[in-house]
Amino acid sequence: MIRTAVVILNWNGRKFLEQFLPGVVKNTLAPDTSVIVADNGSEDDSLLWVTENHPEVEVIRLDNNYGYAGGYNRALKEVEAEYYILLNSDVDVEPAWAEKLITFMEMHPNVGACQPRIRSYSNRDSFEYAGAAGGYIDRLGYPFCRGRIFDTVENDHGQYDDVREIFWASGSCMVVRGAAFDQCDGFDESFFVHMEEIDLCWRMQNAGYTISYFPHSVVWHVGGGTLGYGSPSKIYYNFRNSLIMLAKNLPAKHLRRTILTRQVLDGLAAVMLLFTEGRAAAAAVVRAHRDFRRQRTAIRTFRTLTPNPGIFHTPHTTMNKYLLYEYYIRKRKTFTELKWT
């Protein structure tokens, strides 16, 4: 078993590997750390480029595209490490970025997963949409971040420099304790892509771990490399997977009311998308709800077999307010303006 495995999941991403893999190799210096590219059945020449240009990088070949969840589950079964750093292929890193994260994890054995400060690659002084300074959810399960609420992304001027507990760590760059990952059975492959990391972090907390944000390690994320932020596919997975996550993990006494409320709000969102983004975007929401209903049996089975489902969490990681109301009605656009703790 090695100490740390930096695992980059690739799918037809030679462009990003050429751009960012050399920096990851250069800036990941610890002798007990391996850099691995796990390929999700790519049809381009990604792996040929890796083997020819970076023979020091281990390669795992998967026979199909299993998505983020399935790809990482299969790849990590082939790697024995105390810590896994799951890194998107479109991420630029600073020197010693990985060592800083692992040192923090070793000093805090109760932390199951942790993320660094995630800034935008195109605007390096701004936080990045997917993760920013750590993830949270509101009482209806809407995810948001310190540094990013819906489409409002803040510049980073040191307002979130503190290490703190969060609700979820971003899948674009997160370090996961191997024992916690195995104990929680890894990612739920029904998610395929998007929100699987929030679901995993929720289950880790139910198992007794905490999730953390460590700002002293910094990475820069391009974002939208596989699915564009406004694409119908991304809309579909975000809406469907949000419902699956809530149905799996909410306390029973809040489950029915929350799901019904989300269904109404999602219907309104579909109408808005029809007029702003077009028919394909609105249809993606309809398909998301259809496919969510088809998975109800599997979700009920999960809740039956899972110990301690739906544990409440501390109020500083779960906002007991309605994010939509705070953002659109009260015009509170930044994390510090929410003021729920």
The Cα–Cα gap between 166 and 214 comes to: 10
Is 239 among the domain residues? yes
- Does pTM surpass 0.85? yes
**Opening angle at CA 239, ends 115 and 14, nearest 5:** 55
Indicate if 80 and 194 belong to the same structural domain. Answer: yes
Indicate if 236 and 217 belong to the same structural domain. Answer: no
The Cα–Cα gap between 288 and 236 comes to: 5
The Cα–Cα gap between 90 and 33 comes to: 20
The Cα–Cα gap between 53 and 21 comes to: 10
Residues contacting 332, CB < 8 A, separation 6+: 326, 338, 339
Indicate if 192 and 303 belong to the same structural domain. Answer: no
Computed from CA positions of residues 289, 294, 300, 306, in that sequence, does the dihedral angle turn out positive or negative?
A: negative
Is 329 among the domain residues? no
What does each C-alpha distance from 66 to 40, 71, 248, 294 come to in angstroms? 6, 5, 21, 20
Residues contacting 186, CB < 8 A, separation 6+: 69, 72, 73, 76, 200
Measured between alpha carbons, how far apart are the two ends of the chain, in Å?
A: 41
Q: What is the CATH number of the domain that holds 119?
A: 3.90.550.10
Q: Residue 253, Cβ neighbours under 10 Å: how many?
A: 9
Indicate if 263 and 207 belong to the same structural domain. Answer: no
Distance of CA 187 to the CA centre of its chain: 11
Is 328 among the domain residues? no
Indicate if 253 and 114 belong to the same structural domain. Answer: no
Indicate if 159 and 292 belong to the same structural domain. Answer: no
Indicate if 217 and 237 belong to the same structural domain. Answer: no
Tokens of 105: 């994890």
Indicate if 170 and 205 belong to the same structural domain. Answer: yes
Tokens of 116: 């660094």
The pLDDT of residue 229: 61
Distance of CA 93 to the CA centre of its chain: 17
Is 341 among the domain residues? no
Q: What is the pLDDT along the chain (341 residues), one digit of tens a residue?
A: 899 999 999 999 999 999 999 999 999 988 899 999 999 999 999 999 999 999 999 999 999 999 999 999 999 999 999 999 999 999 999 999 999 999 999 999 999 999 999 999 999 999 999 999 999 999 999 999 999 999 999 999 999 999 999 999 999 999 999 999 999 999 999 999 999 999 999 999 989 999 999 999 999 999 875 555 668 999 999 999 999 999 999 888 888 999 999 999 999 999 999 999 999 999 999 999 999 999 988 888 888 877 666 655 667 899 989 999 999 999 999 999 998 87
Give the total number of structural domains in the chain. 2
- In the block, tokens 């969840």 appear at 69
Indicate if 181 and 280 belong to the same structural domain. Answer: no
Tokens of 226: 């596989």
Which residue range(s) make up the domain with 72?
2-221
Residue where a domain stops, chosen among 156, 186, 221 = 221
The Cα–Cα gap between 101 and 31 comes to: 15
Residue where a domain stops, chosen among 201, 221, 241 = 221
Residue where a domain stops, chosen among 221, 255, 289 = 221
Is 340 among the domain residues? no
Exposure letters 49-74 (e unless 16+ CB within 10 A, then b): bbeeebeebbebebeebbbbbbbbbb
Tokens of 173: 């760059």
Is 327 among the domain residues? no
Is 320 among the domain residues? no
Indicate if 66 and 142 belong to the same structural domain. Answer: yes
The Cα–Cα gap between 272 and 71 comes to: 34
Indicate if 114 and 151 belong to the same structural domain. Answer: yes
Indicate if 189 and 279 belong to the same structural domain. Answer: no
Is 319 among the domain residues? no
